[in-house]
Amino acid sequence: MALSFLDKERTVAAPGYNRWMIPPAALCIHLCIGQAYAFSVFNLPMTKLLGITHSAPGDWRLTDLGWIFSLGIFFLGVSAALSGRWVEEGGPRRAMFTAALCWAGGFFLSAVGVYIHNIWVIYLGYGVLGGFGLGIGYISPVSTLIKWFPDRPGMATGMAIMGFGGGAFIASPLSVWLMARFSTPMHVGVAETFIVLGIVYFFFMMVGAAIVRIPAPGWQPEGYVPPAVPKRLVTERDVYVYRALRTPQFWLIWWVLCLNVTAGIGVLGQASAMSQEMFPGQVTVTAAAGFVGLMSLFNMGGRFFWASVSDFIGRKNTYFIFFILGIILYSTVPHAGRVGSVSLFVLCFCIIISMYGGGFSTVPAYLKDMFGTRYVGAIHGLLLTAWSMAGIFGPVLVNYIRQYNVTHGVAKAQAYNVTMYVMAVLLIVGLICNFFVKAVHERHHMRALEADAEIDAAPVFGGR
């Protein structure tokens, strides 16, 4: 078969294969799909597709365009949840190849949508098809990395998920540069940019699919000795993917992730406006753009830093730090506004955003500790629905509370204070959820015969 190179059996590493080849393979995927965070660079040009220099009647509004990103994130969660087991059982190469097809296909379809000026085609292209590429791509390297790095699972997944945060750094200037190259006095150049990005991303992701390998059964890193006495919150046994849904641990971690992301994502989207409104006259539009850039650096760095730290202090303790420090920092932000300290405000948000990123990158290792390695990718996929939920909940919370305050006569500089306290309360709830996470009861652990029966009975996305 022409596509037999995608088979899981064909991706088993030969003896002597260097495991440090796996993080670049994972980064090839995550750096590409991380473009999603930079999609906003297309928003303004796409409101001028007909008018070119200004929005003409018939041009799309920003509110119409906002749905493209929202749909993408929504279908990220949906596809990660639906395809987790298929990804796990088919191996990383098949998943990466599929993600590349969906992601690049989403760009090509969106280019058609721009060309015929039909936003529904873009919703279908970038939102649905691209969203599937996002979801499948996001989870595709996770369990492979954990299997290659049993000694440092947090650091390994942190490296890949850092790529998702860093993808926007490449996509944003690249997209602006491409649009400038393709634009003419009669044409904005968005469609051509989509086509070029689709080609580049497909090539990049295929390199990742080509170099990825899974370790041979029973492989261990040289010199690695598994702990003789397993840690209290780290299991050596596996839990079947759908069985995990029946454990309180899954839902507690679901809320831990959801609340951590809700708190971060809400301010991430509003950072520019918030900094200018809280410090009128002190923070200019240009400085606010710099602030957003600085936050995205901390978002990316936090993904690697916190996940690596979790290998030493444990996942539960890492989340305790996120929540306790987060509560203190969110409560400090209104004080920073009152005393007019921009540097305190910037410091608070940089740390908050590093913990937002850290929440994403630490969670795969948390799941591995709870549910074992075998289905960690699939369970992670199901957990990402928490992200979809937070993606809707966080920005809505920030926007509506601010709007309510402004409508009721609160000065813009103080309009975010209540939001900050609400975020702190959300983190208190997250802290409580994290506190109740205990080791999974052994009745949920897989036994050989039971596992086979359950696997045979369960449906799998895309067939076997």
| Interface contacts to other proteins, rule CB under 8 A | 16-18, 20-21, 24-25, 27-28, 31, 163, 166, 168-173, 207, 211, 286-291, 293-294, 296-297, 300, 346
Compare residues 127 and 208 and give the one whose CB is closer to other proteins.
Answer: 208
> What's the number of CA atoms in the CB half-sphere (13 Å) around residue 120?
0
Would you put residue 189 in left (φ > 0), alpha (ψ -120 to 50) or beta? Answer: left
Q: How far is the CA of 229 from the CAs of 222, 233, 234, 447, in angstroms?
A: 20, 12, 10, 21
Would you put residue 225 in left (φ > 0), alpha (ψ -120 to 50) or beta? Answer: beta
Compare residues 28 and 370 and give the one whose CB is closer to other proteins.
Answer: 28
For residues 378 and 241, is the Cβ–Cβ distance under 8 A? yes
Compare residues 213 and 243 and give the one whose CB is closer to other proteins.
Answer: 213
Compare residues 18 and 407 and give the one whose CB is closer to other proteins.
Answer: 18
CA distance 195 to 101: 13
CA 133 to chain centre: 13
CA nearest to 282, candidates 333, 331, 346 = 346
Compare residues 173 and 230 and give the one whose CB is closer to other proteins.
Answer: 173
Min dist CB 200 to other proteins, Å, is: 10
Min dist CB 26 to other proteins, Å, is: 9
Min dist CB 156 to other proteins, Å, is: 15
Compare residues 344 and 428 and give the one whose CB is closer to other proteins.
Answer: 344
Compare residues 27 and 401 and give the one whose CB is closer to other proteins.
Answer: 27
Compare residues 125 and 163 and give the one whose CB is closer to other proteins.
Answer: 163
CA distance 222 to 214: 16
Compare residues 100 and 424 and give the one whose CB is closer to other proteins.
Answer: 100
Min dist CB 87 to other proteins, Å, is: 21
CA distance 22 to 284: 43
CA distance 332 to 343: 12
Min dist CB 86 to other proteins, Å, is: 26
> What's the number of CA atoms in the CB half-sphere (13 Å) around residue 437?
30
Q: Nearest 5°: CA angle at 206, between 204 and 207?
A: 65
Min dist CB 291 to other proteins, Å, is: 5
Q: What Rg, from alpha-carbon coordinates, does the chain have? A: 22
For residues 448 and 284, is the Cβ–Cβ distance under 8 A? no
Min dist CB 314 to other proteins, Å, is: 29
Min dist CB 391 to other proteins, Å, is: 22
Longest dimension (CA), the chain: 70
CA 50 to chain centre: 33
Min dist CB 355 to other proteins, Å, is: 19
